[in-house]
Structure 1
Amino acid sequence: MVFASAIIIVMNYYTIRILSATRSYINGESQYSKGQKDASAYLINYIYLENEADYIAFKRSISIPEGDHIARIALSAGSLPDNKKIAARGFLQGKNHPEDIDDLIWLFSSFQHLSMLEKVIGIWKSGDDGINNLHQLGVLARQKITAGKISADEKKALILAISDISADLTIKEQAFSDSLGVICREINLYIFIANVLIILVIVVSSLAYAVIMITNLANSKKKIVEQNDSLQAINAGLDKFVFNLTHDLRSPLVSLVGLIDVIVEETDVEQIKTYTLLMKDSLVKQDLFINEMMAFIKSKDLGFIKKECSLAVIVDNVITQNHYRNDGKKIQFYKEVELNNIDGDALKLQVVLNNLVSNSIKYSDAKKESQWVKVKTYQLKNDAVIEVEDNGLGIRQKDQERIFDKFYLSGNNKRSSGIGLYLVKDAVTQMSGRIEVNSELGLYSKFIISIPI
């Protein structure tokens, strides 16, 4: 009994430490992902605006995932004290919590050759290659801009390369977290099996003692499972929030680029002032959106916030943020707001409409003489109905059932991350609603959202 008890104590100690270390890596991945996305955004801004502050911010942000790269290289070189010191400095540079450093080093050093962890480290290494490519693009952009020898086409090519790298890294970051989640679940399975075997030994030795041990082990296992599930839920919520924020911040930027393209070709000073005021109005609305998102975070409530909101205001905000295409061509908007005030989540409704309208613009058909987007709201029985229709490229029939899947890309689509419509479906579901799509290739696309009033 004493030997079996000792085994259980040691086993649970290492199980908890492994889960704690895995949690630390999951939290570290969030910092890695944020640093990478911020670096990509700052680098794009630097290429567009050639602002020195943006390049400094890019260097600062990319140093976060580069710190984790330094730690991985040091630990892969061996468990010598000097390597561990280098790894500790790298993890701190990667914004990992100082109290998590020992567990991060211990898990890597102790289990790096196990197949499960080898897979995770392989994903990490592949992600570091992408970070290095992003860094090299930053250096190249810096050299060209400093020398004053960068053309508009070169800027576009650099930005496209940055977007491709960022999209690829997002997939790898998700795979990294998912693989760690698999490890946690497998550890739970192994500990469960081991516990059952040891409990059988204890039962044979002493039935009374077995009852006590079974109770303690059950409680311990329950706490471990609850902690693990809680950590995974928190990480999934953070990923979802980051995807939402990143996706919705891009739409007004695309619109601003379109306005800039118009201003470049415009010679009428008064018209330029008008476009400038439109740009300012878009930025003010985006600042308000960011403040609302910050308030949303501070409330620590990622659920459905239901209060009276104006669909007309939300529609106007979204149209203002998405008024121009990348090439500066104006999109014709039509509004039919028959239903205005409803009890709903204004932030989620704006996320939904912003995604759908920006997609309509992104996939407009340049071959058509005019491109338009129609937003319509009305009440049908006990539902508030919102329709977003366009005369764009349309969606193939075989893709319509899967476009709401996470990371799904139809055909040879290179302009999407595969996350926008997934976020739309998730937000509508959280509001207890449903979404449908009707489309014919080359003719039109219509998204119909129904939300209970």
Structure 2
Amino acid sequence: MIKSRWFYHPLFIFIFSLLALALSLFLYIRSYLQVNEALQDVVIKYNLNAKQILQSETWVLILTLSLLVSVILAGLFIIYIYYQKMIQLYRLQQNFINGFTHELKTPIASLQLFLETFSRHELERQEQLRYLEYMKRDTKRLSDNVNRILQLGRLEDKNIKADFKDEDLISVIGQFIKNTPHLFDEGRVEFESEVESYFMQIDFGLFEMLLMNLVTNGFIYNKSREKVVRIKVTMIEKSLVIDISDNGIGLEKSELKKVFKKFYQVGRSTKGSGLGLYIVQSIVKLHKGEITAHSDGVGKGTIFRIVFKETK
């Protein structure tokens, strides 16, 4: 939903533009029926130069009408821009619906197939464990998608109260990698820190989701034979910098800023929900940081840089 103040609302702008048009026509007619007659009376009464006075009136009229026409054109232009954004948002929402439907239907269909297999066939224990592992992955995928939607609602709530605690950010990243090995089945994660410790106010749950989204994206959008995600922490000019890079499909320059928009999907793909990076950016902002995306082009990987400026 596009949030705007009431005086930016297209309905108000449209009505205001119509009133400005009506007022300009009214003033035009009134100026020739009343103002011109009044000026002629003044000219006769004070024996003034009629040509000079009437010429001044003409310039005032032209200036007034020009300003009113400018208001009308500006109003119409704002309405045009607003509806262009509405159309773009509608398209993004359609892509999101298509992608998210796919993300939900695929694991559900897979679970149904495995359950039918269990009900129809006698399976050896080793084979049962293999199918159960597949089912666990599908339920985890469903759970992640539901959590994204729930987290999105929480982040967009203006009255959100994050559970901030003074945590060692380096330790938080290390714990995340240690406690979530199931996220790295498709590749490996390398962690390097030039900083021994860095304490700041962190909502542990939200920050863990931030890391999860960035790391899993590095594997999902990756066609390399050996998928690698690198997390590097450095200090640059008294700011803590976290670089999360991958050897994945990369991004075109035109997409570096778009990827953080809600519902946006690279190349209009149905892969993913289009919410991950939007949630990441929201979490970073909540922690008073900044995030940017960098890439040398398609096929050359992506680097997501998070910067926390020192506030101590």
| TM-score normalised according to structure 1 size | 0.36
Higher RCO (Cα < 8 Å, 6 or more apart): 2
Q: Quick check: which one's helix share is greater?
A: 1
Larger Rg: 2
| TM-score normalised according to structure 2 size | 0.50
Q: Quick check: which one's strand share is greater?
A: 2
